[in-house]
Amino acid sequence: MSEAPLILGLETSCDETSAAVLDGDDRILGHVILSQDVHAVYGGVVPELAARAHLQKVDGVVAAALQEAGVELAEVDAVGVTAGPGLIGALLVGVSWARAAAWAVDRPLVGVHHMEAHLFGPAIEDPEARPPFVALLVSGGHTLLLHVPAWGDYILFGETRDDAAGEAFDKVAKLLGLPYPGGPAIERRAKAGSLGRFDLPRPMLRRDQSPQASDYYDFSFSGLKTAVGNLVHGLDGMGMLDVRRDDVASGFQEAAVDVLVSKTLRAVDETGCGRVLLGGGVAANGRLREVMRDRLKRARPDGRLFFGSPRVSLDNAAMVARAARFRLGQPGDPTPDIQASAGLPFPGMIRRDPVAATGPC
Ligand code: KG4
Ligand code: ZN
């Protein structure tokens, strides 16, 4: 293999069919992301339709990415594919395609964990976006707060106990009669809304919490969703929903962002690590970035915030190729018989030990 391996990445874990070619300097030579629109009318992703759409489009998407990169399949040095977690039917399409392709050109195949790939998204655009950092990974299926002293070394501080952050945006959008995916729709509406009209609850965020208790870092969004539901119901009954929709969107977004930022800053405080990375689809939210940047600056004037453009934050194959490149350099052989797994464990992740002091940043 050449010094700077050329990697073909493939992502089909949810409702984006994406392929990318990344060179050894993390330059994106080709990148195609096809968002499936079949789900919009259902207000959420329909797994069976997602798998079918991947199957129909995967050949064309990979061909287009290779063409953009100006390379043939036989010229890539390795193939990386999201092996999980995600929708099993959707994952199977990508994994089967990648296995066949890697076998056909006799190249190593690397199975990638989708959330580890999200960690690598910002690094594609900014080489400074590397460990050590505290990472907030917020997507449609996961909410993870991690301390990352080094690539491959992941200490779990907190996770959601019910809905993921993106899922909360999607469900609240539905309650407000806004289209799927809900995140961008809520963000747009919230911009037009009045910031302080509705003060909604901040679940699992209280001043009297102890760092030794798991709710100190864990998240919960279902109570916030219920509070929005009750508010929407009340406003609707008074015929006020149409004039207050933007204010509700803003109230929800402020509450969600406050919880996400506050818990991230708790981890900054404990680890002493003022470098923060935002990853996953919700990291595309401008208000989250803005509040995180302002509050981090106040807490740690020397702190730094990293996030990628929406193209490498939302589901995409460039981040998969980047994570595959890291995994390729790790001990242990890439295996030709990787399996798709809806509940793939996060490689290298351990839980934070609440009584042991966390190592230096
Ligand atoms: O990472 P991602 O593309 O897919 C998963 O791995 O789930 O994240 C998708 C999630 C959706 O829930 C979507 O509503 C949310 O990211 N999202 C946003 C924004 N853009 C996408 N949430 C808040 N604000 C946004 N601008
Ligand atoms: Zn994702």
Summarised one tens digit per residue, pLDDT across range 317-342 is 999 999 999 999 888 766 667 899 99
314, 315, 346, best to mutate for ligand 1 pocket (most atoms within 8 Å of CB): 314
9: phi then psi, degrees, rounded to nearest 5: -110, 150
pLDDT in tens, 82-141: 999 999 999 999 999 999 999 999 999 999 999 999 999 999 999 999 999 999 999 999
pLDDT at 40: 85
pLDDT at 57: 97
pTM confidence score: 0.96
pLDDT at 359: 63
The CATH T-level fold of domain 131-307 is Nucleotidyltransferase; domain 5 (3.30.420)
User: Residue 82 Cα, ligand 1 centroid: separation in angstroms?
Assistant: 17
User: Is the CB of residue 252 less than 8 Å from the CB of residue 282?
Assistant: no
223: phi then psi, degrees, rounded to nearest 5: -65, -35
**CB hemisphere CA count around 361 (13 angstroms):** 17
81/7 Cα distance (integer angstroms): 10
Judged on CB neighbours under 10 Å (0-12, 13-18, 19+), 312 is buried
Name the helix (H) or strand (E) containing 262. helix 241-271
What is the Cα Rg of the chain in Å? Answer: 21
Residues in Cβ contact with 296 at an 8 Å cutoff, skipping those fewer than 6 apart = 265, 268, 274, 276, 303, 305
User: Residue 284 Cα, ligand 1 centroid: separation in angstroms?
Assistant: 7
Q: Which residues line ligand 1 (CB under 6 A)?
A: 14, 139-141, 166-167, 169-170, 181-184, 187, 280-282, 284-285, 314-315
pLDDT at 2: 47
35, 169, 175, best to mutate for ligand 1 pocket (most atoms within 8 Å of CB): 169
Identify the CA nearest to 217 among candidates 269, 150, 274, 169: 269
Tokens at 111, concatenated? 């199975």
Name the helix (H) or strand (E) containing 53. helix 47-69
Judged on CB neighbours under 10 Å (0-12, 13-18, 19+), 35 is middle
Tokens at 41, concatenated? 């009318």
User: Is the CB of residue 24 less than 8 Å from the CB of residue 2?
Assistant: yes
User: Residue 13 Cα, ligand 1 centroid: separation in angstroms?
Assistant: 14
296/265 Cα distance (integer angstroms): 7
CA 119 to chain centre: 8
Residues in Cβ contact with 347 at an 8 Å cutoff, skipping those fewer than 6 apart = 113, 116, 152, 327
Query: Domain segments of the chain: what residues?
Result: 7-119+313-350, 131-307
Judged on CB neighbours under 10 Å (0-12, 13-18, 19+), 279 is buried
User: Residue 1 Cα, ligand 2 centroid: separation in angstroms?
Assistant: 30
Q: At what angle do helices 286-299 and 241-271 cross, to 10 degrees?
A: 40
User: Is the CB of residue 166 less than 8 Å from the CB of residue 187?
Assistant: no
**131-307: same fold as 7-119+313-350?**
yes
302/361 Cα distance (integer angstroms): 13
User: Residue type for 266, please?
Assistant: R
The b-or-e profile of 39-70 (16+ CB within 10 A means b, else e) is: beeebebbbebbbbbbbebbeebbebbbebbe
pLDDT at 334: 67
36/259 Cα distance (integer angstroms): 31
Indicate which residue's Cα is closest to atom 8 of ligand 1: 281
| Beta-ladder partners of 92 | none
* pLDDT means over runs of 10, the chain (361 residues): 80 97 96 93 90 97 98 97 98 97 96 98 97 98 97 97 97 96 97 95 96 96 97 98 98 98 98 97 98 98 97 97 94 77 96 78 72
CATH class of this structure's domain 7-119+313-350: alpha beta
User: Is the CB of residue 73 less than 8 Å from the CB of residue 101?
Assistant: yes
